[in-house]
Each structure stands twice: as structure tokens, then as C-alpha cells.
Amino acid sequence: MTGIPLIIAFVCAIVLMIVMISKLKIHPFISIMLVSLALGLVGGIPLVNATAEDGTAINGIATVIGQGFSGTFTSIGIVIILGALVGAILEATGGAFKLADMVIKLVGEKHPEIAMAIMGWVVSIPVFCDSGFVILNPIRKAIVQRTAASSVMLTVALSAGLFISHNLVPPTPGPIAAAGALGLEDNLLLVIGIGILVSILPLIAGIAYARYIGARVKAKDETDPELAHELYEQIMKEVGKLPSGLSTLAPIIVPILLMALGSIANMAGWTGMLKSLCTFFGTPIIALSIGVVFAVLTLSQMHKLDSFYDLVQDTLKTVGPILFITAAGGVLGKVIASTDMVQFISDHANAFDALGIFFPFLLAAILKTAQGSSTVAITTTAGILGPLMATLGYTTPVGAALVVAAIGCGAMTVSHANDSYFWVVTSFGGMEPEQGYKTQSAVTGLMGVAGIIGVFVLSLVFGI
């Protein structure tokens, strides 16, 4: 099956998956895997590995499923485990509450969602949003317990801030790749500036929606406002003396700085041993491993090193289900990418070129919704548009930078079950999958629309 029938089959598959998870109460892992298998077979993936007439190897459905599953573990599995371990240690030492106190002193108790959104936006400029959410989640949880603020509100605000800069502001890989494909290798500061400007409306929309949905959806880790102070005092008695601010910040700030340094080394074109070292230490797995070392040092300073084994064991039990559901989402994305859907969309992209600046947005949104990865949506869309820039009339650096931003906005729209970030946010945020559609999927769609409105306004201002 190819073309329009395949796209219809994809839509039906997504609807079926939502019904299986939310209405029939079938476990998300089973639901996603069954839908992936069915969609792969309908989409023409062969039962077994085969060879095309030109000698090209064609993977069978079992191989595709295995690649999707293992690929997700390769990219994010260890990152989730290490980030969750840092969080567990911060909670055990009271460091998470120390960080929460520092944030509250900085912004006050009335608007923690603004602090979470801005914090997420800054962190995700050099760090992948998945890693950023895992790293910052302990602060979010501690603020919920400290202030009795809505857990869902803070989850959505943090997720929104991370997702916006991940798609719009270099040096994250997607925007850098798009800038290169559209001839802006020497104008990255312009791309960064446009990305920052375009981020404003999505940030406002994300914070506003976080407040709205936080009053309507409740997560598993909500705190009763009437019991919040009593609960906080009880936790403080159990924890005892809090660690210093510096030792608490180190397990979070050091990995972020290392990943930022790795991104800068790649973006600035450094060479030799300096680049090798920066790239090595900036790899998320290595950076977070160093973060774990700093967290263990804090555990030792608090004379709780004997609890480390139990903390690791409990962390592995906690993240196990998250890892498998996230990997299942990777399977669905891989299955879709192995069909002819993305190629069909690419081949018929010129049908949208009359839409102006909305064309790259829609193309990226279709690719994002279809296969799950924002980075893949950005790079694929930029690759399609590269040869068409003169035809579309975007011949100046500013015009090309606006196209990069439009692609980034489209790549936000929307995050759902085939996106690993969807499962990271919903699982660590203590929400059920159906709540994830009301929160994560809804806010990413809203932010994408807000972003392209901002791009359109800027195009009018610059006369593009």
C-alpha cells in the first residue's frame, strides 16, 4: 500500500492505538507494538528480509521492529537511567528540595511555572529535550511538594520550554542541520537570533496552556494544598540537614555545561584533540555519568553512601517501564519511516508551495506527526526545500532564517505516541497516556501554531 491509502491507514492506526490505550485499557507497550506490526504489514514491509532488483537489501518486519526498539535504547536508554539516578540521589540527600528553595527564592511561590518554562528553554539550547526533562524533573517534583503547585502545570511548562528551544535555537542538531541545508552555515548567529524571537509566542502559549490544563488534569504525584506544609516538614525531618547549594547544583549544572561545550565545539568547527575531548565529555552518556559521580559525592558528604545500592536498584525498577514504552514508540517511528509514506510526502511537496512561509511549517508538521522525531522532520524538510529556495523566493539570509524557524515550528506539531519525548514527559510527569494527549500533544500543537504566527509576523516586518 502506498500514497493516500497509506496515509489513511496511518491515521486509522493512530486512532486505533489511542482507543486501545485509553478506552480498552490495553497496556501502552502492547498497544503500540501491535499497531506497529499491523501498520508495517499494511504498509508493504515484507515478512522477511529480501533483496530488491537493484541489489538493495530490504529489511523484513521483524528486523525493522528490532532496529526501532534497539535504536531508541541506543539514543536515550542509558541517558534516562543516568538522569533518573541523579534525580533519585538528589531526592535522597534533600538536594532536590534545596534546589526548589533556590528557585522559589528567585521567582517567588506564585509563578513557578514561569520559572520551569524559562529554565527548560535555556537548558535545551545545548541539551536534547529528553535529557533536559530527565535532568530537571527532580526540581519540578520538589517544587510540587514544596508549594503544592499543580504537578501537571509544572510538567507542561517544563516540557514546553525544553521543546521550543530544541526545535528553534542552535546548537541543537535540528536547527543547525536545517541552517546548513539552506545555505546559512556562516549565519548561525542570525538563525539563533530569529529562533529566540520566534520562541516568545510559543513560550507565552505554553505557559498559558500549562496554567489552564493544570487546573483540569491531575497527575499521580499531586500534593494536597492543605497538607503541603505538613508534608514538607515531615520530609525535612526525614532528610535532616540539606546539602549546600553548590554540591546540589553540580550534578545538574556540570552535565549541562559539558553538553553545551560539546555543541559549541561542533558548531565552532574546532579541530584536533580539543574538539575530541569536548565532544567526548559532551556526549550525553558521558556528561550524565560525570553528573552521577558528583551526585554520589554529595551522597557521601551526607553520610548516606550505604544507601547507594538500594537507590540504583529502585531507579532501575522505576525506569524499566518507561524505557520499554519509549522503545515501543521508537518502533512505531521506525516502521513508518520504512514504508513509502515519507517518500510520498516528499515527492508531492510542491503541491504546497503556494502557501508561502506556511509551506515549510506544514511539511515539517506532517513529517513530525507521521514519524515522531522532530530532528528527522527538520532535516528532511530542509533537505526537500534546499533546492527550492530560489523558486519559493527566499533568497536572502533573513528569508532563509525565517524558513528554518518555520520548519522548527512545524517540527513541534505534534508530539504523540510515536515520539520518545511524549513518553518521557508523561511517564516522569506521573500521567496516564490519555492525559498525555490532553497535555503534551495539545501544548505542542498550540506552540507550533503560535510559533508560525510569529514567523509570519516577522516575515511581514522584514518584507519577505
Most confident of 96-110, 254-268, 284-298, 346-360: 284-298
- pLDDT at residue 208 tops 90: yes
Q: Tell me how far apart the alpha carbons of residues 346 and 341 are, in angstroms, rounded to a whole number.
A: 9
- pLDDT at residue 89 tops 90: no
Q: What is the pLDDT of residues 20-46, one digit of tens each?
A: 876 788 887 888 899 889 989 988 888
The pLDDT assigned to 97 comes to 72
The pLDDT assigned to 441 comes to 95
Residue 445 CB: number of other CB atoms within 10 A? 18
Q: Name the DSSP class of 244.
A: P
The CA-CA-CA angle for residues 152, 157, 159, to 5°, reads: 95
Whole-model pTM: value is 0.74
The pLDDT assigned to 228 comes to 59
- The answer to whether the beta carbons of residues 239 and 302 sit under 8 Å apart is no
- The answer to whether the beta carbons of residues 180 and 385 sit under 8 Å apart is no
- pLDDT at residue 308 tops 70: yes
Mean pLDDT of 355-365: 88
Phi, psi of 225 (to 5 degrees): -55, -35
What is the residue-wise DSSP string for 43-59? TT--SS-EE-TTS-EE-
The pLDDT assigned to 136 comes to 84
Is the N-terminal amide bond of 255 cis, ω within 30° of 0?
Answer: no
Q: Tell me how far apart the alpha carbons of residues 171 and 265 are, in angstroms, rounded to a whole number.
A: 10
Q: What is the pLDDT of residues 274-290, one digit of tens each?
A: 889 998 998 888 988 99
Distances in Å between the alpha carbon of 318 and those of 32, 83, 196, 329?
Answer: 20, 12, 36, 18
The x, y and z cell numbers of residue 248, run together, are 546540589
Mean pLDDT of 228-236: 62
Q: What is the pLDDT of residues 10-26, one digit of tens each?
A: 888 878 877 887 678 88
The pLDDT assigned to 349 comes to 62
The pLDDT assigned to 410 comes to 96
Phi, psi of 239 (to 5 degrees): -75, -40
How far is CA 189 from its chain centroid? 23
Q: What is the pLDDT of residues 314-329, one digit of tens each?
A: 888 877 877 787 788 7
Q: Tell me how far apart the alpha carbons of residues 65 and 137 are, in angstroms, rounded to a whole number.
A: 30
- The answer to whether the beta carbons of residues 99 and 304 sit under 8 Å apart is no
The pLDDT assigned to 159 comes to 97
Mean pLDDT of 346-360: 74
- pLDDT at residue 378 tops 90: no
Q: Confidence class of residue 122 from pLDDT cuts 50, 70 and 90? A: confident
Q: Tell me how far apart the alpha carbons of residues 86 and 106 are, in angstroms, rounded to a whole number.
A: 23
Mean pLDDT of 331-349: 76
Q: Tell me how far apart the alpha carbons of residues 74 and 79 are, in angstroms, rounded to a whole number.
A: 9
- pLDDT at residue 171 tops 80: no
The pLDDT assigned to 250 comes to 87
What share of the chain in percent tops pLDDT 90?
A: 28
Residue 222 CB: number of other CB atoms within 10 A? 17
Residues in the chain: 464
Mean pLDDT of 121-132: 80
- The answer to whether the beta carbons of residues 96 and 90 sit under 8 Å apart is yes
The average confidence (pLDDT) of the chain is: 84
- pLDDT at residue 215 tops 90: yes
CA dihedral (119, 125, 126, 128) positive or negative: positive
> What three-state secondary structure class fits 101?
helix
Most confident of 89-103, 264-278, 289-303: 289-303
Q: Tell me how far apart the alpha carbons of residues 411 and 403 are, in angstroms, rounded to a whole number.
A: 12
Q: Confidence class of residue 197 from pLDDT cuts 50, 70 and 90? A: very high
Which of 168-182, 289-303, 334-348, 353-367 is predicted with the least confidence, judged by mean pLDDT? 334-348
Q: Confidence class of residue 448 from pLDDT cuts 50, 70 and 90? A: very high
